[in-house]
Chains A and B, each alone.
Chain A
């Protein structure tokens, strides 16, 4: 079943991928004339950006410019893509200059999300570079009077038998790469890689450690002014009155821009804008609509309170009437959680000469451009969106919204670049949140102690509210304008990627399975993509119940998983994580026994991200203070299978970082919200893991150089949560099913002894 599902998934994925990109912006060359056949399918993002020149330029000065529509946000993608380009071209790494997401220069590759950049952009760049190499060799062969097949290349120098030489830089012409890609050149294979598979140092790092220009926040344009936004005190509040004249009289205030309930101050100096925003808060009078209850208030009885769209995500009945001897059922929940980037969102915009230019740390510059153009009723070509790095991203945070704020202000003050910097509370209160979720899982076991029926039922708000849809404007300020623009209906992302139901289909070989979704599109709070989307809660639930079922079957959790899992690569990561984590069946933890002040235990969690990206298993070791209720993750081990690893240290960094972030979500993080509004406003209201609380982490990368590369950026999120929950159970003999695992909740379950 697994292989068949994966094949189906891959085909559907390719189709879904194409639809997404075309939906964002038609490349004119793509649209087939009526009556002609559709062009052949090309791999990765090459399919939607078919010209070789869209991907690279070989320059006479001895460099190569490579273009990607993906964005760098510290995940090291620009460096990894330079590695694959250099290898396919046979040039040194230093010769590659990367140009990332810019609507005026790079291919449109949709959103940089879902751990797909290596699969989509990497694949396109590899094929484009392999083909460019051949074109350059054919030109060199003609010049040297030899056969192209007899030429060899080393760092761009082309050598013919007998000693004649030329270079890429001598033979390159502007016209050479104007054609469409065919993707017919064979890519280099495992034995031929020189840079692929090497842990090269990232290119973005030296500037970051020396005060270089590394972030959008560092952009300073001549005549630039500073703006701050006067956001409402709570969602859906309306601005009833504002003494703009009093604000305008403050030092440095150039303009008070108001459009409906959107209001901002624009000042000469940044600290003046900060002061003016404080004054604005005092002067503005807002309506105070009460926030309705959310899923987080009604986890136990969501159906009674909330309007859901119900659907069957997946169903399989491979086994007829079998006799179950044991049923296990539990409900698992997850609070609303935040991206909580260290740097609040920022943007710079400039309006002039009929063009609007926006510098943004959005994950999707073309999607952002599409929504800004729609909001302003202008052609997309008149809007340029250029990506620059912001602070860590982790999904759909406030970046697009800050960009639209800046665009609105630049339109109001043409000719002067406007810099918008959200303050800390803007980010906490107005970024799109990760949805609260409730997941009820049940399993029937047969007499052999194997699961024969599996049922997974989930309740969730949207995980996808990014800009770039076919209709609506998904930008925060749009619905506040005097002439409001409504967001698009927040459809859930369909399988095989899934949104709320991402990773809800277990990879295990249970004969009967049913996955049900209760999707809640009408969310009182704006929710959208937070790293791994629904996978975090779904994997937490699946892998927690796996341990509960293993306990019921009297089996070791690792052995219980392996005996119901045929996928060899999945088995390998589970075995590796267990081995590295010193897994000892029967001795996983204190089980709530003993008289010491702490309980210790180990647990495991596993998932293949989206069921088609990287395989990842995590073993966590926890210590539980039985008096305070504080849970500490002391050590963690992960094994990850990313297929072909481009940059192994980059993969380690992503898994290690994701694991620590997930540990923070799981132990500590919950949005504070009540009827009167969002109460999370500073780091005091939203603690995250600190240095003294961070586990040591060991990551083993299981490299498979002959397999396709698989995305890793989000692979650790779900398995980590489950590993911690299972380690807690091993330590205490009690189970936590509600994230976060706060000391209050821990004390409550321990008190139930």
Chain B
């Protein structure tokens, strides 16, 4: 049965009516018209759909909307805008850290979660945090540099 859910997304309450088992990804993209989380595999294997739920990285392609409940959902739209990017987004822009960029939102969300729990990660820790994310264009080194740049810019 379609059910009414009130989700907290990027600090705002948003209502949607859908089946309980609908993956959060489709609610974010189609009902809330948020572009950041991407469909990549639908099997939690690539990380293109990653968002933060209560600050923890989750794969929204397999995360049922009913599990989101009253938790805080953060998507890349909650970090900053093209006009006012967050420090992390600025670092990614500075490093020109992509080619196609399709995997970037998920990478940035994983990096955001890392920097919150560890503001000064080592290069190895950055790579470990992103190990479950796939990039096909070969922008890995730029992505790692961007995360390290952001960590240097933020207060410890």
Q: A423-B42, A691-B140 are in contact. Are A342 and B75 (CB under 8 A)?
A: no
Chain B residue with Cβ nearest A206:
B82
* B23 adjacent to chain A (CB < 8 Å): yes
- Chain A residues in 8 Å Cβ range of B48: 342-343
* B128 adjacent to chain A (CB < 8 Å): yes
Chain A residue with Cβ nearest B127:
A691
**For window 659-709 of chain A, which residues contact chain B by CB distance below 8 Å?**
659-661, 664, 682-684, 688-692, 694, 696-697
Q: A210-B89, A661-B137 are in contact. Are A343 and B99 (CB under 8 A)?
A: no
Chain A 215-243, CB within 8 Å of chain B: the 1/0 string?
10110100000000000000000000000
Chain B residue with Cβ nearest A654:
B99
- Chain A residues in 8 Å Cβ range of B126: 691
- Chain A residues in 8 Å Cβ range of B3: none
* A181 adjacent to chain B (CB < 8 Å): no
**For window 97-113 of chain B, which residues contact chain A by CB distance below 8 Å?**
98-105, 108
Question: Mostly helix, strand, loop or mixed at chain A's interface?
Answer: loop
Chain B residues with CB under 8 Å of chain A are 18-19, 22-23, 26, 29-30, 33-36, 38-43, 45-46, 48, 75-77, 79-82, 85, 89, 92-93, 96, 98-105, 108, 126-128, 130-131, 133-142, 144
**For window 552-592 of chain A, which residues contact chain B by CB distance below 8 Å?**
none
Chain B residue with Cβ nearest A343:
B102
Alpha-carbon separation in the docked complex, A661 to B38 (Å) = 21
- Chain A residues in 8 Å Cβ range of B79: 210
- Chain B residues in 8 Å Cβ range of A343: 38-40, 48, 100, 102
| Contacting pair B76 A209 (CB below 8 A) | yes
Give the residue among A657, A661, A697 with the most B Cβ atoms within 10 A.
Answer: A657
- Chain B residues in 8 Å Cβ range of A421: 39
Q: A343-B39, A392-B99, A691-B144 are in contact. Are A210 and B134 (CB under 8 A)?
A: no
Alpha-carbon separation in the docked complex, A215 to B102 (Å) = 8
**For window 257-316 of chain A, which residues contact chain B by CB distance below 8 Å?**
269-271, 274
| Contacting pair A270 B96 (CB below 8 A) | no
Alpha-carbon separation in the docked complex, A649 to B97 (Å) = 11
- Chain B residues in 8 Å Cβ range of A270: 26, 29-30
- Chain A residues in 8 Å Cβ range of B134: 342, 683, 688, 690
| Contacting pair A394 B89 (CB below 8 A) | no
Binds B, one of A126-134, A197-205, A517-525: A197-205
- Report the interface size for chain A: residues with CB under 8 A from the other chain: 61
Sample 30 A-B pairs with CB under 8 A, ordered by A number: A73-B100, A74-B98, A205-B92, A208-B98, A208-B105, A209-B85, A209-B93, A209-B108, A210-B76, A210-B82, A210-B89, A269-B26, A269-B30, A270-B30, A271-B18, A271-B19, A271-B22, A343-B39, A344-B40, A391-B103, A424-B40, A424-B42, A649-B96, A656-B142, A657-B137, A658-B138, A688-B134, A691-B130, A694-B140, A694-B141
Question: Which A-B residue pairs are the 7 nearest by beta carbons?
Answer: A660-B138, A208-B101, A74-B100, A657-B138, A211-B36, A391-B102, A392-B100
Alpha-carbon separation in the docked complex, A269 to B18 (Å) = 10
- Other contacts beyond A343-B39, A660-B141: 5, CB < 8 A: A209-B101, A389-B100, A657-B99, A691-B128, A691-B133
Give the residue among B23, B128, B141 with the most A Cβ atoms within 10 A.
Answer: B141
Alpha-carbon separation in the docked complex, A220 to B130 (Å) = 30
| Contacting pair A209 B104 (CB below 8 A) | yes
B141 to chain A, nearest CB (A): 6
B67 to chain A, nearest CB (A): 15
Contact of A211 among B26, B77, B141 (CB under 8 A): B77
- Chain B residues in 8 Å Cβ range of A207: 82
Q: A211-B105, A684-B45 are in contact. Are A696 and B40 (CB under 8 A)?
A: no
Chain A residues with CB under 8 Å of chain B are 73-76, 201-202, 204-215, 217-218, 220, 251, 269-271, 274, 340-344, 389-394, 421, 423-424, 649, 653-654, 656-661, 664, 682-684, 688-692, 694, 696-697
| Contacting pair A342 B142 (CB below 8 A) | no
- Chain B residues in 8 Å Cβ range of A682: 41, 43, 45
Alpha-carbon separation in the docked complex, A214 to B98 (Å) = 13
- Chain B residues in 8 Å Cβ range of A653: 96, 99, 139, 142
Alpha-carbon separation in the docked complex, A274 to B30 (Å) = 14
- Chain B residues in 8 Å Cβ range of A271: 18-19, 22-23, 26
- Chain B residues in 8 Å Cβ range of A341: 100, 102, 136
| Contacting pair B45 A683 (CB below 8 A) | yes
- Chain B residues in 8 Å Cβ range of A74: 98-101, 137
- Chain B residues in 8 Å Cβ range of A202: 96
Alpha-carbon separation in the docked complex, A682 to B103 (Å) = 17
- Chain B residues in 8 Å Cβ range of A394: 136
Chain A residue with Cβ nearest B2:
A251
Alpha-carbon separation in the docked complex, A271 to B75 (Å) = 20
Chain B residue with Cβ nearest A698:
B141
Contact of B85 among A204, A210, A424 (CB under 8 A): A210
Contact of A220 among B33, B41, B108 (CB under 8 A): B33
| Contacting pair A342 B46 (CB below 8 A) | yes
Chain B residue with Cβ nearest A697:
B141
Contact of A692 among B46, B81, B99, B128 (CB under 8 A): B128
B132 to chain A, nearest CB (A): 8
Alpha-carbon separation in the docked complex, A590 to B94 (Å) = 40
| Contacting pair A342 B40 (CB below 8 A) | yes
A638 to chain B, nearest CB (A): 12
Q: A342-B136, A683-B41 are in contact. Are A206 and B100 (CB under 8 A)?
A: no
| Contacting pair B46 A683 (CB below 8 A) | yes
Q: A269-B26, A271-B19, A424-B40 are in contact. Are A211 and B75 (CB under 8 A)?
A: yes
| Contacting pair A205 B39 (CB below 8 A) | no
A88 to chain B, nearest CB (A): 24
Alpha-carbon separation in the docked complex, A180 to B121 (Å) = 59
Alpha-carbon separation in the docked complex, A251 to B2 (Å) = 11
- Chain A residues in 8 Å Cβ range of B40: 342-344, 391, 424
Alpha-carbon separation in the docked complex, A653 to B131 (Å) = 21
B63 to chain A, nearest CB (A): 13
- Chain B residues in 8 Å Cβ range of A664: 138
- Chain A residues in 8 Å Cβ range of B139: 653, 657
Chain B residue with Cβ nearest A346:
B39
Contact of B89 among A209, A274, A649 (CB under 8 A): A209
Alpha-carbon separation in the docked complex, A209 to B38 (Å) = 12
- Chain A residues in 8 Å Cβ range of B136: 340-342, 391-392, 394, 661, 688
| Contacting pair A214 B101 (CB below 8 A) | yes
- Chain A residues in 8 Å Cβ range of B130: 691
- Chain B residues in 8 Å Cβ range of A205: 92-93, 96, 98, 101
Chain A residue with Cβ nearest B80:
A210
B27 to chain A, nearest CB (A): 9
Chain B residue with Cβ nearest A272:
B19
Chain A residue with Cβ nearest B89:
A209
Alpha-carbon separation in the docked complex, A212 to B40 (Å) = 17
Alpha-carbon separation in the docked complex, A423 to B133 (Å) = 18
- Chain B residues in 8 Å Cβ range of A696: 141
B12 to chain A, nearest CB (A): 14
Alpha-carbon separation in the docked complex, A73 to B46 (Å) = 20
Alpha-carbon separation in the docked complex, A217 to B39 (Å) = 9
B94 to chain A, nearest CB (A): 8
| Contacting pair A691 B99 (CB below 8 A) | no
Q: A211-B105, A343-B48, A697-B141 are in contact. Are A217 and B99 (CB under 8 A)?
A: no
Give the residue among A270, A389, A696 with the most B Cβ atoms within 10 A.
Answer: A270
Give the residue among A75, A206, A207, A390 with the most B Cβ atoms within 10 A.
Answer: A206
B74 to chain A, nearest CB (A): 11
| Contacting pair A660 B140 (CB below 8 A) | yes
| Contacting pair A656 B102 (CB below 8 A) | no
| Contacting pair A692 B127 (CB below 8 A) | yes
Alpha-carbon separation in the docked complex, A270 to B27 (Å) = 9
Alpha-carbon separation in the docked complex, A220 to B127 (Å) = 35
